[in-house]
Amino acid sequence: MITVSNLSKSYGGQVLYSGGNFFIGEGEKVGLVGPNGAGKTSLFRLITGEERPESGQIAYSNSLRLAYFSQSVGEMKGRSVLEEVINGNPRLGFLKDEISKIEKLLESGDYSEEILEKMGDYQIEFEKIGGYEIEFKAAEILTGLRIMPEDHNRPVENFSGGWKMRIALAKVLVQNPDAILMDEPTNYLDLESIVWLEDWLKNFKGAILMTSHDRDFMNGIVKKIIEVNHKAITVYSGNYDYYEKEREIRRDQLVASAERQEAMLKKEEEFIAKFAARASHAAQVQSRVKKLDKIDRIEVMPEDQAINFEFPNPPRSGNDVVKLSDLKKIYPHPVSGDKLIFENVSGIVNRLEKVAVVGVNGAGKSTLLKIIAGLTESTDGSATIGASVEMGYFSQYSLDVLKPHNTVYEEVRSRVANKSDGFLRNLLAAFLFRGDDVDKKVSVLSGGEKSRLILACMLTNPLNFLVLDEPTNHLDIRSREVLLEALKGFEGTVMIVSHDRHFLRQLTTRVAEVDKGGVTFYNGDFDYYLEKKGLH
């Protein structure tokens, strides 16, 4: 279906990959992985033809219908949500508009042979490419992505960026192409939407090549992994968990082969050095020199060193960390009327609990955390912080407090003044800031790097209660694992909003669901919650 042969690509003078080969067959589900900057997005653009390779070629099967979902939504305006999705297929949108125009001409009495013939041709093609079912399919997909039927006819420009991403995703899915390229499709999706999308993609008959920072999502769909790293493209047969294990096995084998080769080379070089001056051994020496010249040296790419970092034990808090009493929140609106977020919310968050706060987007998860953090007031009731509680709060807006002219090291030093230089450098290394990375200006950091920097600062201070709103956003799988291990070892209390099921499975001991104007506590781990909700 898609064959990539001897592909090479550079960007800004840096080689992304050289001599890359892989094949995506009909109906194959493939994950694309690699560190940020390795060239994953460029590979998508090469396949779609937006960019051209330095060498090599990309071949497609005849009449391949390819759709691409990227993080660049583009302009959306002038249509309803449903119309926008239907027009995701340009030809189908064109036919629908032309049929509508001809229908108006017919209503006005224009029954010319040319008009009737054109109408017949358009209707046949429209039916052939699924035009008469498209409205139903578009509505079904939008609803699956939590854009409900009552919103389908709203103007698309009335939706925020996160919801427009869902609309853009629906535009791709409704085309029902032969193959879909997907760049982070789970960004901005809540848990219910992720579960729905995973099920849809599992049942999709076409091929998929996708990136995702959600390990469970990737594991549930893909059966093959293409890794872009160290200027090479490597293929693994299996899901993400298999890829991680197999990559380590292959690396161990490569290291062992390199060590054997190094021992052999050393032995040959010693022979050459010892007998180079002896005429009696000239032929043997020359033979071995030629042999060494022909050997392909095994290159083992450097691997990041594991950092052993223990976070300082926080001071002990009281057993009741947060007490919610008849909590109520209403957002007043002068036009549409007051909006109830939740009411009658009561409960206690206990010391050392790791509480996942879940619910669909817009249910009020962030509002609940802001009330607990003291950043917004409740309409009624109270959220009382317990004795000896030292709280830290993280949200995507926390990134705005970083000073852009500071380096990474200067920023963390300004927040943790009483720690040694070695402590801070180990801390930054634990959060993947190593070597020259600590001298980067904050202004040039990516969203994920800024998130890691804020989290590193938080976890070094003597806090015993962390309130974290979407800390996994913008973090790749490896960075999420770093944060996960840090929080698992954190001897304090955590309340966290995240849509990453693997992350929540590993961390949480209790779940608070914000839904239908209330908050329900589930006294079990995340798997217990999923089982109760039928989301396994």
Token pair 């970083």 is at which residue?
402
The answer to whether residues 382 and 345 touch, using CB atoms and an 8 Å cutoff, is no
Determine the average pLDDT of the residues in 288-294.
88
> What span, in angstroms and rounded, lies between the C-alpha atoms of 214 and 208?
16
What's the pLDDT tens digit per position in 28-77? 999 999 887 788 999 999 999 999 999 999 999 888 989 999 988 778 88
Q: Which of 154-163, 321-330, 517-526 has the weakest average pLDDT?
A: 154-163
- 486 vs 323, more confident: 323
What's the pLDDT tens digit per position in 390-436? 999 998 777 778 899 999 999 999 887 778 888 889 888 888 898 89
Q: What is the pLDDT of residue 418?
A: 79
Whether 194 shows a pLDDT value over 80: the answer reads: yes
> What span, in angstroms and rounded, lies between the C-alpha atoms of 9 and 20?
9
Q: What is the pLDDT of residue 7?
A: 95
Tokens found for residue 49: 């033809």
The answer to whether residues 500 and 519 touch, using CB atoms and an 8 Å cutoff, is no
- 94 vs 54, more confident: 54
Q: How far apart are the first and last CA of the chain?
A: 33
Question: Which conformational region is residue 65 in: left (phi greater than 0), alpha (psi within -120 to 50 degrees), or beta?
Answer: beta
In residues, how long is the chain?
536
Quote the distance between the C-alpha of residue 49 and its chain's center.
Answer: 24
Whether 471 shows a pLDDT value over 60: the answer reads: yes
Q: What is the pLDDT of residue 441?
A: 94
> Which pLDDT band, with edges at 50, 70 and 90, does 352 fall under?
very high
Give the phi and the psi of residue 404 in degrees, each rounded to 5.
Answer: -60, -25
Q: Of the spans 329-338, 359-368, 500-509, which averages the highest pLDDT?
A: 500-509
Q: What is the pLDDT of residue 300?
A: 81
Tokens found for residue 504: 């929540």
Q: What is the pLDDT of residue 308?
A: 60
DSSP letter for 26, please.
T
Beginning with the edge strand found earlier in the chain, give each strand of the sheet holding 339-350 in spatial order. 339-350, 320-331, 380-385
Q: What is the pLDDT of residue 407?
A: 95
- List the helix and strand counts (H, then E) for the chain: 17, 18
What's the pLDDT tens digit per position in 237-284? 999 999 999 999 998 999 999 999 999 999 988 999 888 888 778 888
- 113 vs 216, more confident: 216
> Which pLDDT band, with edges at 50, 70 and 90, does 451 fall under?
confident
Q: What is the pLDDT of residue 139?
A: 95
The answer to whether residues 453 and 416 touch, using CB atoms and an 8 Å cutoff, is no
- 140, amino acid identity: E
Whether 155 shows a pLDDT value over 60: the answer reads: yes
408-415 and 421-430 helices cross at what angle (nearest 10)?
120
87 to 49, 91, 174: CA distances (angstroms): 22, 8, 10
Q: What is the pLDDT of residue 94?
A: 83
Helix/strand/coil for 467: strand
Mean confidence (pLDDT) of the chain: 90
Q: What is the pLDDT of residue 100?
A: 87
Whether 382 shows a pLDDT value over 90: the answer reads: yes
Whether 26 shows a pLDDT value over 90: the answer reads: yes
Q: What is the pLDDT of residue 169?
A: 95
Give the phi and the psi of residue 520 in degrees, each rounded to 5.
Answer: -110, 130
CA angle 437–440–444, rounded 5-degree value = 120
Q: What is the pLDDT of residue 179?
A: 95
Q: What is the pLDDT of residue 468?
A: 95
Q: Which of 99-103, 208-212, 223-227 has the weakest average pLDDT?
A: 99-103
Q: What is the pLDDT of residue 401?
A: 83
